[in-house]
Amino acid sequence: MSFKTPLEEQCFEIARRALGTPVKIEHNRRIQIESALFPAVAAFKGPPAKEVDVIAADLIDQPKVTLLISCKEFSKRAEPAHVQEWAAVVRTMNEYSAGTVYLGLIVSPTGFTAGCEAWATSHNTALIPPLKGRNLVFSGEAVFRMLERALIALRRRALLKVDDLLAPPEFFDFVYSVVSDFEGHEEVAQEGRYLARPSGWISSFGEMYASLAGHVVEDLAAGTNGTTLWLSGGLGCRFAGARVEFGTGMQREAEPLRAPQCLKNIEGEPCTFDFVRSTVLGSRVTSAADFGDYLEFGLDERLNLSLHIAGFHLVSTESPIDQHRL
């Protein structure tokens, strides 16, 4: 298998992995319509044909639906002419098809100019990355993940129902809907504060709390780069300043233990690690807050345990304060 560009090779590998069906790549392939018995396509050189570089993959057999992917590797964004060209190829293939339905998709890691959308929607040609109405630049890695997500979703969708995708702009919109949410993900990923385990996915405060809420504190630990709260169900939450990891499958052994700095009450009176640990063990996580330089958990609605890089701070939240000092 030879590839003209790294983009082609990567798209091919993604298509093969995502679709699980035979995927072909052809260079200077002379594609020709399936049925040439129409006066409309008669010409001195024969029926319409065009040499293209294409990644072709059969999505389903009944009806036969084939996806034609065009990889555009430009230094600038792809222009309407590029969309028009591919749309014309796919449209002609469909118009004179002997049963096969062709869907067109264009991948251009540098993006598309705004004028491309109208041509893509009217010809039902999917674009990756999506045009979202404002200048958005996606990383190359994000574009490849978009392609993989779109192909996996398309494969599953085709097995369920495909005929409704064939009328413009349904296929364009379907792919758009599958990849447009990358925008929110990319924005969060730039910050990259929360990391879910064991998936390694970028996460959010909301997801962190949703996964930890209601679990019982089983242990506390301090490492060289932060502190960890161990909870029932094999869950952990490690605070390391700029990064918060949570979830299952976190390694305890990999964390070199040290004596953490421990404080109690609002005034921050020094106390021992054993005191903090014995006080919070068995408590249930009932709330959480992220203050940037520390992470705070409400426990049993009567304690606040703060995870700092250097140690822990435990405060009673019951009132009157004087009678509930730790």
Partner 1 sequence: MATLRCFRCKEAPSHIRAGCRRVSERQYSQRFDTESRRVVRRLATPGDQHILVDENGGRVSVADLVEQLRHDPRRVLADDEIGLIVYVGDLRLYELRPTESGEFIASKVTQISRPRFPVRILRKQIGARVFSVTADAVFVVREKDVLKKVRAEKLKPGMMLASGEKVFR
* Contact residues for partner 1, defined by CB under 8 A: 117, 132-134, 149, 152-153, 156-157, 159-161, 164, 170, 173-174, 177-178, 180-185, 187-188, 199, 201-204, 206-207
For 102, phi then psi, to 5°, come to -110, 135
Taking the complex as a whole, how short is the minimal distance between the CB of residue 303 and partner 1, in angstroms?
28
Taking the complex as a whole, how short is the minimal distance between the CB of residue 97 and partner 1, in angstroms?
24
Taking the complex as a whole, how short is the minimal distance between the CB of residue 32 and partner 1, in angstroms?
33
169/311 with CB nearer partner 1: 169
188/216 with CB nearer partner 1: 188
Amino acid at 91: R
Residues whose CB falls within 8 Å of the CB of residue 159, separated by 6 or more in sequence, listed in order = 60
Note every long-range contact of 142-148, with CB atoms under 8 Å and residues 24 or more positions apart, other chains counting: 142/182, 142/186, 143/107, 143/109, 144/10, 144/11, 144/14, 145/182, 146/178, 146/179, 146/182, 147/11, 147/14, 147/15, 147/18, 147/107, 148/14, 148/17, 148/18
41/188 with CB nearer partner 1: 188
For residue 217, give the 3-state DSSP assignment.
strand
181/318 with CB nearer partner 1: 181
Taking the complex as a whole, how short is the minimal distance between the CB of residue 172 and partner 1, in angstroms?
10
Pairing of strands 194-197, 243-248: parallel
212/262 with CB nearer partner 1: 212
Taking the complex as a whole, how short is the minimal distance between the CB of residue 187 and partner 1, in angstroms?
7
